[in-house]
Chains A and B, each alone.
Chain A
Amino acid sequence: MPFSFLASDPTVRRNWSISLCPLCYIAPANGYAKYDCAAGILHTVFFHRTLSLVRPKDVDCKFLEITYVQCGLPELEKEIDEKIEQFIAWVEKHPNRRSQVCLSFFDEKSKNPGWFVNKTERIYWEQWFINLHVTSPKRESNSSKGLTNIGWNALVETSSRHAALESSINEVLFQIINFANEKKDHIPAIPDRIFNHEIMIPRDDSSSDSVFGWNTDVIRRVLNSGHPYSL
């Protein structure tokens, strides 16, 4: 087979736990922090898996001192941006909850082609699970200190958190680089367009736990495809 279905390969299905700490009480740029993190990760994965001709575009994070790279494909960028916006909206609606973004690449094959039925099945050849935990910083409760002390402590805490976030994002990006380069044999032949993909983010209308609600769709799809799949 030219490729192998590696959804069950644990080396690909790595989970990265990143704690995003929005500076909601110090700086109004917390939206940038979330956006930077999510965009940096997603775009990096796509950049490694968009093997058609690209003209990379450097993007300097607004909040973090990190430069990530986009593929320079407007449609893809628009799609990713929309997903990120939806994800951030969900995170802000459900603060302090763990969330997961799944980025899947697949091939589509027609299943049992017939005269009247043209069913296609998706064969996922790679999936990236990105676990994110957006937390809110704890507020200073020591009321005995003066305002200046509170402000100073908050500032110090903010800056340290900022540095930690930057460091963790940097580490995650290197992890993506490592994984993207370790396993390459399963990647289909280089196409002249973007690989089929989908980005799944938590939704509010999912049953019970909205964080993992989308998993049911994935499972259903996998079962229909008939391929072994283990979460």
Chain B
Amino acid sequence: MAAAAGASEPPMVEQVITEFFAKSLHIILESRSPYDSSRNFTRPSPPSSPLSGSQPRDRWFNLALRDCPAALENFDLWRQSNLEPLVIDIVLLQRDSTKTTSAGAGRIIERWVIKYEANRAGNGSKNTGKKSRSSSAHDHSLYRRAYSGSTVLFRSLYLVVRLLPAYHLFQELNSSGRIRPLSLSHKISSFVEPFTRAEDADMKHYAFAPIETHSGLLSLSVSYVPVLEVAAAPEPTTPMATELIMDYVGSPTTDFLRKFNSLPSDGIAPACVAMTRRHSWSTEHGAGPSASPSHMPTNNSPTTYPHQHSTSSSGKKRDTVNEEYYPSPPLSPSPSRSPSSHPRNPFFRYESAPLSIATARAGGGGTRLPPSPHRKDKQQCSFQNENLIHSPSDKSIVTNDLVRVGEVRNEKSLQKVLSFGKDDLVYFPGVKLARTSSKLFIMDELDEQELVFAWEDKDAIIDQLNRIDLSDRENPDSSQEAGGSLTRSPDAAIGILMRILKSAPGLRERLLTAPAAPVPQEPSSLQRVVTEEHGSGESSSAMVPSALLRSRTAADALEELNRYKEIRESILNRGKGHPRDTKMEEKPADGDP
């Protein structure tokens, strides 16, 4: 029938019919095929008018469309069918996390039927007596009517595909890069497979005004589901793949970070890395991956930083293709474990570190943790990482992962740890997380700059304070020497203190040391000073567990500095009360640097 109808049509009209099918397919698939959608293809827009840059097929029906390879490929296949009906089924595929999509799992949400019906004898047989003269004019008139009618029809079709419910779904799937459990696919055939009664009951129908041709009728209709009840499950965020960006401000190539790169990456969870944080908690507690903070441990017991999985369920499924249908690519689902699905990137920059600094507080007082970086966009950070805890002052954001712990034994210490002050910085050893998301990356950049400035002030102090312990361990003599300063002048004491600070081990070096059981060690000179100052002979107070030394903050360092100043003043005062000692202290003071 189609072939015969095609033969009875004038060549011009036959061409219109062929292009009618092609254009219909193009318009429909352009807005229903997410993978091959031309929305993703940016075509350089013509400078001033639609005429420039248009392709020959755009001229058909004066409707310039973006490229849609799916339409072109499929039409080439259909072209061989010689004007048979063109049935385009738009299928909604829903996949779960366990199995890939199968052909039968989809639901037809739209069916477009384009067909040419011949056997209309009236159009081309008028005025047979004057056929020779007016036939060409008549044919031309019919061609013009068919063409202009089709032109208007395709304007309507272009609009209708955007008014139907499936278009919103298409926009959702196509615009965001998130992995979703739904996908749209299409199926092209040349016969109409009838719907089931239930399906038909759900469908609405819309038919465009048919186009009359010389010997037939072109018709286009659609059956569609008026309401698409898509599962409203919260879509998991799909963090972008981590990638190294080497040329950012404060990159490892800079001096600032170079020393951190040299440190092993094993370590402490970063503050605002959503995926690692989530994963760390879920992995640790055996819970399903979840971003919910409820999965965080409620106890404040120390937890070690867990290794991250390198699984990527979403990644594995990402490239699955539904070959049963003309593929739109598998927008494979990502379960809520999306953050955990990313392998741990060795290049993490840890935003905060539960470093402990040798505290001079009597009783080995609470845990001293280094301050966390001051976040400018902490809101973003907290949004992305639900495990983040806002400090009471909301000036900084820290995470429970900071508590790298063996050190934190009690809640009070933890509270203190978590209440970081403004402008405090924490820095974990390790390498930089280049990117987990655009927002995170921005934060990293900001933090980099902050760190550059802040570390210069506080890093030195913290390093030196840390080195005190290491040097004390390594060089007990120096500690002896430092301890001997007590008998010297206040200036000498200060000088020795400065020397101690300068020679103190760095925070990062402190972190390198495995969490060992508190080892009784000789009190550092500093601690000895403190114990002497406070008149406390308790060795326990001077026994600072090495674990505590791990967590230090710049604030703690400053506190200690202040304390040293107090010690100095007290020494000075004592010196006034003991002129004999003062005299002795004064002598070496000259030689002290």
Contacts and interface: CB of A to CB of B under 8 A. Distances in A.
Chain A partners chain B: yes
Contact of A55 (B46, B160, B168): B46
Interface string B203-228: 00000110000000000000000000
Interface stretch (A152-160, A184-192, A218-226): A184-192
Nearest to A189: B144
B160 A177 contact: yes
Select the residue from A73, A170, A177 with max chain B CB neighbours within 10 A.
A177
B138 to A, nearest CB: 14
Contacts of B65: 56
Interface of A: 44, 47-48, 51-56, 58, 60, 65-69, 72-74, 170, 173-174, 177-178, 180-182, 184-185, 187, 189-190
Contacts of A173: 159, 163
A54 B159 contact: no
B148 interface: yes
Interface stretch (B50-58, B285-293, B532-540, B580-588): B50-58
Mostly, the B contact residues are helix
Nearest to A173: B163
Select the residue from A47, A180, A184 with max chain B CB neighbours within 10 A.
A184
Contacts of B151: 51, 190
5 contacts: A48-B156, A56-B63, A180-B155, A180-B156, A184-B152
**Closest 4 A-B residue pairs measured CB to CB?**
A55-B50, A181-B209, A55-B64, A53-B62
A67 B165 CA distance: 11
Select the residue from A53, A55, A180, A185 with max chain B CB neighbours within 10 A.
A55
Nearest to B156: A177
Contact of B63 (A54, A177, A184): A54
B163 A174 contact: yes
A67 B156 contact: no
Interface of B: 45-46, 48-51, 54, 58-59, 62-65, 144-145, 147-149, 151-153, 155-156, 158-160, 162-163, 167-168, 171, 208-209
B153 A181 contact: yes
A68 B163 CA distance: 8
A79 to B, nearest CB: 16
A56 B61 CA distance: 13
A20 B512 CA distance: 68
A47 B64 contact: no
Nearest to B27: A56
A182 B168 CA distance: 27
A53 B56 CA distance: 12
Nearest to B148: A190
A173 to B, nearest CB: 6
A55 B47 CA distance: 12
Contacts of B162: 58, 67-69
A68 B161 CA distance: 10
Contact of B159 (A51, A69, A73, A190): A69
A184 B148 contact: yes
A54 B148 contact: no
Contacts of A55: 45-46, 50, 54, 58, 64
A190 B62 contact: yes
A170 B46 CA distance: 31
A53 B158 contact: no
A75 to B, nearest CB: 10
B145 A69 contact: no
A170 to B, nearest CB: 6
A53 B50 contact: yes
Nearest to A74: B48
A68 B160 CA distance: 9
Contact of B158 (A60, A66, A69, A181): A69
A98 to B, nearest CB: 26
Given A51-B152, A52-B62, A72 B50 contact: yes
A51 B148 contact: yes
Contacts of B54: 53, 55
B163 A53 contact: no
A69 B64 CA distance: 13
Contacts of A187: 148, 152
Nearest to A48: B155
Contacts of A65: 168
Nearest to A59: B162
Contacts of B148: 51, 184, 187, 189-190
